[in-house]
Structure 1
Amino acid sequence: MKNAILNRYTRIKLLSLILALSPLLLWGQKQTLSLDQAIETAKSHNRDLRIDSMGIRKSAQQTAVTRGLLMPNISLAGQFQHYFQKPVFFGLNGNSSTSERIDYARFGGEDLAGAQLSLVQPIYNSGARHEIQRRKLVEKQSQLIYQQKEIDVVAQVRQNYVRQLVLNERLQLQKESILRNQKALADSRYLLAQGKALRVDTLRAYTLVKNLEPDVLRLTYAVQISQQQLRNLLGDVSETAYVLSDSLELSPEEAIPTESGTYKLSVQQRPDLQILTLNKEISDKEIDLYRSARLPVVNFISQYQIQTQTNQFRFGNAAYPPVFFAGIQFAIPIFSGNQHVNRVALGKIERQQADLIYDNAQEQLKTEVKQILASLIETSERIKTQQGVSKTAELGYSITKYRYEKGVASRLELTDSELALTTAKANYLESVFDYLSAKIELDRVTGNVKTNL
C-alpha cells in the first residue's frame, strides 16, 4: 500500500514537471517571427551571405599578398656536404698550352658547411604596382557582390514572408468556404429527409465540399514549403515552425515613381551595375599589367655568407671566413615568343567585351523598370476593383442567404453566391500579393534594402 502511494506521488510529480516544461517544449517547436526579425536573422546567418563575406576577407588577403611583391625578401639558407672523395680542381699544376692532358688535384676538406643571409629589395617593378591596383579593384568588387547578395536575400525574405501571409489568408478563406458548404450540405440532407428538397441538391452540395478539400491540402503543403524556404533563407537548420506576427499592409495610394527617375536611381545605387563598371577598370589595369611585362625589373640585392671546410667533422677547430656583398640586379625582357603582345591584345578584347556587357545591362534595366512600374500601376488598380467586387459579393451572399432562409431563393442561387464570394476574396488576395511583389521587386531593382512590406 505504501509503495502504491509512493508510485502515485511520483507520477503526480512527473506529470507536474511535464506540464511545467511544456511551454518551453512548444516554444522550441514554434516561434513568433516579425519581418524585421526575419531580415536581421537572414543578414547574420544566411549561408550565401556568409560565403560572400568570406569572399571579401579572401580578396583582402589576396591584396595583402600582392603588396608583398614590393616589400623586401629576406631569407636564411644553410647547407652541409660530406665528400667521400675530395673535390677535383683542374689546371693547377702549370700545364702548358700544347699539352693535351690537363692535370688535376684534390684538396680541401671532406666536410663543408655554410650559411647565407640574403636580402632582395625591389626598386622598380611596374608590374607589381599595377597588380596591386588591380587587386584593390577586385577587393572593392567583392564588397559590391556582398551588397548585391544582401539586397537579393532581403528581397527573397520579404517575398517569402508576403507569400506565407497570403497563403494563410487563402487557407483560412478556403476553410470558411468549406464550413459554409458543409452547412449547406447538412441542410440539404435534412430537407431531403423531410421530402422538401431534391436529391440532386444534396449531390451538388456534396460535390462542392469534396471539390474544395484538395485546395486545402494544396495550400497546406504550399505553406509548409514556404516555411522550409524561409528556414533556408534564415540559415536555420532546425524544424522551427514560424508564426508570422506581421499582417498584410496595403497603401496602393502611394505615388508610383516615374520611369526616368527610377532608372537613374537604379544606375546610381545598384551594386551589380557598379560591378560591371569596375570590370572595365579591371580590364584597363590588366592591359597596363601586360604592357609592364616588357619593362625592366630592378632589385637591390645583398648577401652575408659564412662558410667553412674541415675533416672528420672537426668544426670546432675550423675557420669561418665571412663573405659580404651588395649590388643592383636588373632584368630586361627581350623576346618571349610574342606573349606580351598577345596578352595586350587579349586585354583589349576583354575591355570591349566589358563595355558591351555594361551597355546590354543598361538596356535590360530599362525594360525591367518599365515592366515593374507597369505591374505596380496594374495591380494597384486591380486592388481597387477587387475591393469593390468583394464588398458586392459579401452583400450579395448576405441577401441570398437571407432570401434562402425565408424560402424565396433556391439552393443553387445560394451556392452560386457563395462561390462568387470565395472567388472575389481569392482574387483580392491575389491582387494584394502581386502588388506587394511588385513593390519588393522595385526595391530590389533600385538597390534599396527595406524591411517593411
Structure 2
Amino acid sequence: MKKIFFKINSRMLSLAVLLTFLSNISIAQNQSLSLQKAIEQAKTNNRDLRIDSLNISRSRQQTEITKGFLLPNVSLTGQFQRYFQRPVFFGLNSAPSSEGIAYSRFGGQEITGAQVTLMQSLYNSGAKYEIQRRKLLEKQSRLSYQEREVNVVAQVKQNYLQLLVLRERLRLQNESILRNKKALADSRSLLAQGRALRVDTLRAYTLVRNLEPDVLRLTYALQISQQQLSILIGSDAETQYILSDSLQFNPADSIPTENGTLRTSILRRPDFQTLSLNKEINDKQIDLYKSARLPVVSFVSQYQLVTQTNNFRFDKAGWPPVFYAGIQVAVPLFSGMQNVNKIALGKIERQQSDMIYQNAQEQLKTEVKQVVAGLYEASQRIKTQQNVSETAELSYSITKYRYEKGVASRLELMDAEFALTTAKSNYLEAVFDYLSAKIEIDRTMGRVDEEL
C-alpha cells in the first residue's frame, strides 16, 4: 500500500514539474510586445546595428593607430656575429704609388652589440592631415550607424504595422465567413422548407468556400511577418509575440509641407551629412597628397654597447658605450610624378563628391514630394472610406432586417454583406497606407520616433 501511495505521489510530482516546465515555455514563447519595446530591442540587438557599431570601434582604433606617427618610437636591437675569418682592412703601410694595396685582419672572432634607438617626429605634415582624415572617417562611421538605425526603426515600425493590419484583416475575414456561414445555414433551412431556391444555397456555399483560402493566406502572411519582426529585433525566431498596441488613426494629425520636410531632411538625414562629410574627407586627402612634397624632420638618438672577443670570453671583453643624438631631415626630390597625379586624382574625387551631393538633393525633392503626396492622398481616402464603411454597415443592417421580414431577397443580403466586407477592407487599407506614409516621412527626415 505504501509503495502504491509512493508511486502516485511520484507521478503527481512529475506531472507538476512537467506542467511548470510547459507553462514556462509557453510564457517564454508568447510575449507581449509594444512598438516602443520592439524599437528598443532592435536598437540593442539588431545584428546590422551591432555590425555598424563594431565599424565605429574599428574606425576609432584606426585613428589611434594614426596618432602613433606623432609619438616617439623606441626600439631595442641586438646582434651577434661569429667570424671564421676576421674582418679585412686595406691600406696599411702601403706606398701611394704601389699597385698592390696591403691589408691586415683585425678584431675579434665574436662581435656582440646592443642599441636603444629613439626617434621622435618633429615636423610631419602628412601625419597631421592623416589624423584629421581619420577623425572624419570616424565621424562618417557614426553617421553610417545613425543611418542604419533610422532604417531599422522604420522597418520595425512598418513590420509592426503590417502585423496589426494582417491581424485586423484576418478578423474581418473570419467575421465575413461567420456571416456567410449563417446565411448558408439559413438558406439550407429555407430550401428544406421549400421556401428558397437551390441556386441560392449553392451561391452561399460557393461564397463561403471562396473566402476560406484567404484565411489561410492571411495566417501564413501573419506568421512570416512575425518571423521577420523577430529577426529585426534580434530575438529567437520561434518566439510568438502578442502585440499590445492597436491600429489607430488620429484625424488631428497635421500633414507636413514639402519645403519644411525637405529642409529637415537635408539637415537631419545621416546619409546627407555623410555626403557633405565626403567633401571634407576629399579636401583632407588632397592636403595629404600635397604634404608628400614637404620635408620630414625627426629627432634621432641612440645608445649603443658593442664588444669583440675571441673564444667567447665575454667576461674578459670590454663594453665601450657609444651615444649620439641628432636631427634627421628627409626632403623628397622626385617621386616619378606620383604626387602630382595623386593631387589631380584628389581633385577629381572632390568634384565627384560635389556632383553626388547635388544629385542626391534633386532626388530628395522628388522623394519628399512623393511621400507628402502619398500621406495627403491616404488621409483623404480615409475620410471617404470611413463614410463608405459606415454607410455599408447601415445598408447591411437594413437589408438583413428586410430579409428577416421576407421583403428582401437572399441575393440582396449577400450583395450587402460583400459591400460591407469590401468597405471595411478598403478603410483598413487606407489606414495602412496613411500610417506607412507617416513611417516613410519619418525615415525621409531621419527621425527615430517610437510611435506610429
The one-letter amino acid paired with 2:275 is L
Q: Within 2, Cα distance between the matches of 1:279 and 1:103?
A: 68
Partner in structure 2 of residue 440 of structure 1: 439
Shift of 1:2: 4.6
Partner in structure 1 of residue 118 of structure 2: 119
**2:396 corresponds to 1:397:** yes
Shift of 1:399: 1.1
Gaps in structure 1 of 5+ consecutive residues: none
Shift of 1:277: 0.6
Q: Within 2, Cα distance between the matches of 1:334 and 1:114?
A: 35
Which piece of structure 1 moves more, 109-118 or 349-358? 109-118
Please give the secondary structure, in 2, of the residue aligned with 1:23.
Answer: helix
Q: Within 2, Cα distance between the matches of 1:95 and 1:13?
A: 110
Shift of 1:211: 1.0
Partner in structure 1 of residue 60 of structure 2: 60
The answer on whether the counterparts of 2:299 and 2:328 sit within 8 Å (CA) in structure 1 is yes
The one-letter amino acid paired with 1:116 is Q
Partner in structure 2 of residue 214 of structure 1: 213
Shift of 1:101: 2.7
Q: Within 2, Cα distance between the matches of 1:254 and 1:179?
A: 35
Partner in structure 1 of residue 18 of structure 2: 18
Gaps in structure 2 of 5+ consecutive residues: none
Partner in structure 1 of residue 72 of structure 2: 72
Q: Within 2, Cα distance between the matches of 1:162 and 1:105?
A: 94
Q: Within 2, Cα distance between the matches of 1:80 and 1:110?
A: 11
Please give the secondary structure, in 2, of the residue aligned with 1:251.
Answer: coil
Partner in structure 2 of residue 189 of structure 1: 188
Alignment of structure 1 residues 151-230 onto 2, 5 Å: 151-230=150-229
**2:88 corresponds to 1:100:** no
**2:118 corresponds to 1:88:** no
The answer on whether the counterparts of 2:113 and 2:307 sit within 8 Å (CA) in structure 1 is yes
Shift of 1:238: 4.5
Partner in structure 2 of residue 269 of structure 1: 268
The one-letter amino acid paired with 1:397 is Y
Partner in structure 1 of residue 427 of structure 2: 428
Which piece of structure 1 moves more, 298-307 or 97-106? 97-106
Shift of 1:393: 0.9
Q: Within 1, Cα distance between the matches of 2:152 and 2:20?
A: 39
CA deviations 1:72-98 (Å, max 9, x no partner) are 111111111112222222222x22343
**2:51 corresponds to 1:43:** no
Please give the secondary structure, in 2, of the residue aligned with 1:86.
Answer: coil
Please give the secondary structure, in 2, of the residue aligned with 1:207.
Answer: helix
Please give the secondary structure, in 1, of the residue aligned with 2:315.
Answer: helix
Q: Within 2, Cα distance between the matches of 1:226 and 1:96?
A: 99
Shift of 1:5: 3.7
Please give the secondary structure, in 2, of the residue aligned with 1:317.
Answer: coil
Partner in structure 2 of residue 290 of structure 1: 289
CA deviations 1:377-411 (Å, max 9, x no partner) are 10001011111111111111111111111221111
**2:262 corresponds to 1:254:** no
Q: Within 2, Cα distance between the matches of 1:285 and 1:97?
A: 60
Shift of 1:322: 0.6
The answer on whether the counterparts of 2:231 and 2:237 sit within 8 Å (CA) in structure 1 is no
Which piece of structure 1 moves more, 245-254 or 96-105? 96-105
Q: Within 2, Cα distance between the matches of 1:123 and 1:189?
A: 99
Shift of 1:274: 0.7
Q: Within 2, Cα distance between the matches of 1:236 and 1:382?
A: 37
Q: Within 2, Cα distance between the matches of 1:15 and 1:312?
A: 86
When normalised by structure 1's length, the TM-score is: 0.97
The size of the alignment, in residue pairs, is 452
**2:330 corresponds to 1:347:** no
Shift of 1:21: 4.0
Alignment of structure 1 residues 140-155 onto 2, 5 Å: 140-155=139-154
Q: Within 1, Cα distance between the matches of 2:182 and 2:4?
A: 51
Q: Within 1, Cα distance between the matches of 2:74 and 2:174?
A: 78
Shift of 1:158: 0.8
The one-letter amino acid paired with 2:449 is K
Identical aligned residues as a percent = 67
CA deviations 1:152-195 (Å, max 9, x no partner) are 11111111111100110001111111111112222222222333
Which piece of structure 1 moves more, 19-28 or 118-127? 19-28
Which piece of structure 1 moves more, 22-31 or 270-279? 22-31
Structure 1 residue runs of 4+, over 6 Å off?
none
Please give the secondary structure, in 2, of the residue aligned with 1:330.
Answer: strand
Q: Within 1, Cα distance between the matches of 2:71 and 2:259?
A: 50
Q: Within 2, Cα distance between the matches of 1:236 and 1:315?
A: 68
Q: Within 1, Cα distance between the matches of 2:277 and 2:215?
A: 50
Shift of 1:20: 3.7
CA deviations 1:345-387 (Å, max 9, x no partner) are 0000000000000001111111111111111110001011111
Q: Within 2, Cα distance between the matches of 1:114 and 1:29?
A: 70
Q: Within 2, Cα distance between the matches of 1:278 and 1:333?
A: 31
CA deviations 1:214-241 (Å, max 9, x no partner) are 1111111111111111111111134111
Q: Within 2, Cα distance between the matches of 1:347 and 1:256?
A: 44
When normalised by structure 2's length, the TM-score is: 0.97
Partner in structure 2 of residue 413 of structure 1: 412
Which piece of structure 1 moves more, 380-389 or 19-28? 19-28
Alignment of structure 1 residues 358-373 onto 2, 5 Å: 358-373=357-372
Q: Within 1, Cα distance between the matches of 2:111 and 2:236?
A: 63
Q: Within 2, Cα distance between the matches of 1:140 and 1:196?
A: 80
CA deviations 1:259-300 (Å, max 9, x no partner) are 111111111111111110100010011011101101111111
Shift of 1:327: 0.9
Q: Within 2, Cα distance between the matches of 1:375 and 1:342?
A: 49
Q: Within 2, Cα distance between the matches of 1:230 and 1:320?
A: 73
Partner in structure 2 of residue 316 of structure 1: 315
Q: Within 2, Cα distance between the matches of 1:233 and 1:299?
A: 53
Q: Within 2, Cα distance between the matches of 1:84 and 1:244?
A: 86
Please give the secondary structure, in 2, of the residue aligned with 1:316.
Answer: coil
Shift of 1:413: 1.0
